[in-house]
Amino acid sequence: MKKKRTISLKHPKLQQIRNNLRILFIMATNTQWFHLHNEIDEIEYDQNGELIFFDDLAEEQKERIIELEKGKTELHNLVERSICKCRRCVKTDQDMTYNPNDKSWYCVECYTEMYNSDQRILYLEHKLTLSEEQIREFVYRLASPEGCQYNGIKWRCGGKNHEYSRQILNRMKVSKKNKEVLLELCKELGGYCDCEILMNVASYLLGEETPW
């Protein structure tokens, strides 16, 4: 499908039939997944239960494992993107909405929350007036010893108050308005503390993959 679509049932008996069919589908798929998984174990372990390293396997065994792993991935994606459960909260007994952006189904509640969050992100991005150079400087200074010291002896974090982020933005002489908008945007994107900004948000802000 190319467009958003919500499928809902109002009659309790129809809902029960739908829910039972979803569970049956998930159970059947999981059974097949474990069948493939067990076949891999039979190849990878000898009769004494010792693991055989992949490089020590025969070529046909290697090819079979690759084929089985591909099958497991396909089964996993089949369930994850199906209408049988919400991809976000994994509930199986809800009316579902199809999201054409990632070709997956979500319960109506989760889809609504996601849509509202997307709208909030667009709003904050519109309010933010920092340049790309300023955002890049902020991200890399946060990753430096000045902030979370990525590549140092160990990571550190300023906590949910974004202590290091605020210190760096202050040193950059970023306005209070831009500072609060940026940090609020980071939270909407999953950056609830300094280190989460680096792990969850940095690649989005920079438009590229990061080394951490």
Burial, 151: exposed, middle or buried (Cβ in 10 Å; 0-12, 13-18, 19+)? Answer: exposed
CA dihedral for 23, 29, 32, 33, sign (positive or negative):
negative
CA-wise closest residue to 139 among 74, 212, 41: 212
Instruction: Give the pLDDT of residue 126.
Output: 93
Q: Looking at per-residue confidence, does 43 or 212 come out higher?
A: 43
Q: How far apart are CA 164 and CA 156, in angstroms?
A: 10
Rounded to whole angstroms, how far apart are CA atoms 136 and 124? 18
Residues 120/121/126/128 CA torsion (nearest 10 deg): 110
* pLDDT tens, residue by residue, 65-91: 999 999 999 999 899 999 999 998 999
Per-residue confidence band for 153, with pLDDT thresholds at 50, 70 and 90 = low
Instruction: Please report the pLDDT score of residue 152 as a whole number.
Output: 60
* Entry pTM: 0.58
Apex 141 CA angle, 167 and 164, nearest 5: 30
pLDDT in tens, 171-190: 999 999 999 999 999 998 98
**Token reading at 207:** 């438009």
* pLDDT tens-digit series, residues 118-135: 888 999 999 999 999 999
Domain ranges of the chain: 5-112, 128-206
